[in-house]
Amino acid sequence: MLIEQLKNIAIGRSLPSMKHSPTCHEVSSSPKLVGIECDNCGQRIVVEARDLGVAKGDYRPLEAALRCRVCGERGRSSAVLFDELFEAQNFAGPS
C-alpha cells in the first residue's frame, strides 16, 4: 500500500483524503465541518469548525477541549474534520 501511495505521489496523483484527529489550532480557522462523537454516551453532532470557539496556537487534540452536552464527560470524545458534505451527513445519520 505504501509503495502504491509513493507511486501516486511520483506521478502527480492526489492521495485519498486521510482522516486524523484535528488539533484545536487546526480547527480554529477551518471552514470545514467537524464531527464529534462522545465515547461515553455515543452522542454525535456535526458543527462548523469555527463555531467551537477554540484558540489558534492551542496544539492540544480537539478532543481534550470538548465536553459532551448530554452526559457532561470531558476529554472522552472522538473528532474528525470532513472534506465533503456527504461525509458529515453520513456521520450524523438520518435526520
Domain spans of the chain, in order of start: 20-92
What digits encode the pLDDT tens for the residues 7-58? 444 444 433 344 567 889 988 888 989 999 999 999 999 999 888 888 899 9
Chain position carrying cell 438520518: 94
Q: What pairs with residue 46 in β-bridges?
A: 35
**Residue 91 — pLDDT band, cuts 50, 70, 90?**
confident
Beta strands in 3-93 (DSSP E): 33-38, 44-48, 77-82
pLDDT at residue 46, rounded to an integer: 92
pLDDT in tens, 66-82: 889 899 998 888 888 88
Query: Which residues have a Cβ under 8 Å from the Cβ of 32 and sit 6 or more positions away?
Result: 48, 49, 81, 82, 83
pLDDT of residue 20: 63
Q: Which three cell numbers stand for residue 93?
A: 445519520
| pTM of the predicted protein model | 0.70
Where are the alpha helices (H) located in 1-95, listed in sequence order? 2-10, 24-28, 85-92
